Amino acid sequence: MTAPADLREWIALLEREGELVRVSSEVDPYLEVTEIVDRTVKAGGPALLFENAKGATQPLLVNQFGTERRMCLALGVARLDDAAAKLGSVLEMQPPEGLVEKVRGLKKLKSIADSRPKTVSRAAHHDVVLEGEDVDLDRLPIQHCWPGDPAPFITLPAVITQDPQTGTRNVGMYRMQKLDRRSTAMHWQLHKDGRMDYMAADGRLDVAVALGLDPIATYSASAPLPKHIDEFMLAGFLKGEPVELVKCKTNDLLVPANAEIVLEGYVEQGDLTLEGPFGDHTGYYSAAEQFPVFHVTAMTMRSDAIYPSIVVGKPPAEDAWLGKATERIFLPAIKMSVPEIVDYDLPVAGAFHNCVIVSIRKSFPGQPQKVMHAIWGLGLLSLTKSVVVVDEHVDVHDYEDVFFRVTANVDPKRDVMLSEGPLDHLDHAPTRQFYGGKMGIDATHKGPEEGTREWPEEIEMAEEIRSLVDRRWGEYGIGAAPEETNGHEQRSLRQLLRR
- The answer to whether 182 contacts ligand FMN (rule: CB under 6 A) is no
Classify each residue of 359-369 as buried b or exposed e, where b means 16 or more C-beta atoms within 10 Å of its C-beta.
Answer: bbebeeeebbb
Which one of Mn ion, ligand FMN, none interacts with residue 246, CB within 5 to 8 A by kind? Answer: none
Q: What is the CB-side half-sphere exposure of residue 261 using CA atoms within 13 A?
A: 27
Preceding amide of 277 cis, omega within 30: yes
- Active-site positions? 280
What does the DSSP assignment read for 338-375? STTEEEEE--GGGTTTSEEEEEE---STTHHHHHHHHH
The C-alpha atoms of residue 280 and residue 227 are separated, in whole angstroms, by 24
* Residue closest to 200 by CA, chosen among 232, 167, 172: 167
Alpha helices in 361-462, H assignment, sequence order: 367-375, 399-408, 412-415
Q: Which is nearer to ligand FMN, 163 or 391 (CB)?
A: 163
Quote the least distance from Cβ 192 to Mn ion, whole Å.
7
The C-alpha atoms of residue 193 and residue 32 are separated, in whole angstroms, by 33
Q: Which is nearer to ligand FMN, 280 or 340 (CB)?
A: 280
The C-alpha atoms of residue 194 and residue 268 are separated, in whole angstroms, by 13
- The answer to whether 170 contacts ligand FMN (rule: CB under 6 A) is yes
Q: Which of 234, 312, 325, 372 binds ligand FMN (CB under 6 A)?
A: 312
- The answer to whether 178 contacts ligand FMN (rule: CB under 6 A) is no
- The answer to whether 325 contacts ligand FMN (rule: CB under 6 A) is no
Q: Which part of the chain contacts ligand FMN (CB under 6 A), choosing from 49-57, 171-179, 207-215, 340-348? A: 171-179
- The answer to whether 157 contacts ligand FMN (rule: CB under 6 A) is no
Residues near Mn ion (CB under 5 A): 170, 193, 225
Q: Which of 34, 64, 177, 222 binds ligand FMN (CB under 6 A)?
A: 222
- The answer to whether 354 contacts ligand FMN (rule: CB under 6 A) is no
The C-alpha atoms of residue 260 and residue 298 are separated, in whole angstroms, by 14
Q: What is the CB-side half-sphere exposure of residue 104 using CA atoms within 13 A?
A: 12
Q: Which is nearer to ligand FMN, 172 or 368 (CB)?
A: 172
- The answer to whether 194 contacts ligand FMN (rule: CB under 6 A) is yes
Which one of Mn ion, ligand FMN, none interacts with residue 222, CB within 5 to 8 A by kind? Answer: ligand FMN
Q: Which is nearer to ligand FMN, 143 or 444 (CB)?
A: 143
Give Cα separations from 337 to 15, 334, 340, 453 (angstroms): 41, 5, 9, 32
Quote the least distance from Cβ 412 to ligand FMN, whole Å.
33
The C-alpha atoms of residue 256 and residue 157 are separated, in whole angstroms, by 12
- Which of helix, strand or coil describes residue 195? helix
Which one of Mn ion, ligand FMN, none interacts with residue 173, CB within 5 to 8 A by kind? Answer: ligand FMN
Quote the least distance from Cβ 249 to ligand FMN, whole Å.
24
Helices (H) and strands (E) in the chain, counts: 14, 22
Number of residues this chain uses to bind ligand FMN (CB under 6 A): 20
Q: Which of 50, 146, 174, 307 binds ligand FMN (CB under 6 A)?
A: 174
- The answer to whether 175 contacts ligand FMN (rule: CB under 6 A) is yes
- The answer to whether 394 contacts ligand FMN (rule: CB under 6 A) is no
Beta strands 261-268; 289-301: pairing state: antiparallel
DSSP letter, residue 285: B
Do residues 193 and 168 touch, judged by C-beta distance below 8 A?
Answer: no
- The answer to whether 172 contacts ligand FMN (rule: CB under 6 A) is yes
- Which of helix, strand or coil describes residue 437? strand
Residues from 41 through 70 that contact ligand FMN (CB under 6 A) = none
The C-alpha atoms of residue 489 and residue 361 are separated, in whole angstroms, by 22
Alpha helices in 6-122, H assignment, sequence order: 7-16, 32-42, 68-75, 80-91, 98-113
| CA-only gyration radius of the chain, Å | 24
Q: Which of 86, 139, 144, 192 binds ligand FMN (CB under 6 A)?
A: 192
Q: Which is nearer to ligand FMN, 76 or 292 (CB)?
A: 292
- Taking residues 238 to 277 in sequence order and writing x for each that binds ligand FMN by CB under 6 A, - otherwise, the string is ----------------------------------------
- Taking residues 472 to 491 in sequence order and writing x for each that binds ligand FMN by CB under 6 A, - otherwise, the string is --------------------
Q: Which part of the chain contacts ligand FMN (CB under 6 A), choosing from 183-191, 290-298, 459-467, 477-485? A: 183-191
Quote the least distance from Cβ 170 to Mn ion, whole Å.
5
- The answer to whether 224 contacts ligand FMN (rule: CB under 6 A) is yes
Q: Which part of the chain contacts ligand FMN (CB under 6 A), choosing from 31-39, 220-228, 347-355, 393-401? A: 220-228
Distance between alpha carbon 33 and the CA centroid of its chain, in Å? 22
**Type and span of the H or E element at 388:** strand 386-391
Q: Which of 189, 220, 409, 492 binds ligand FMN (CB under 6 A)?
A: 189
Site of interaction with ligand FMN (CB under 6 A): 155, 170, 172-175, 187-189, 192-194, 222-224, 310, 312, 319, 322, 380
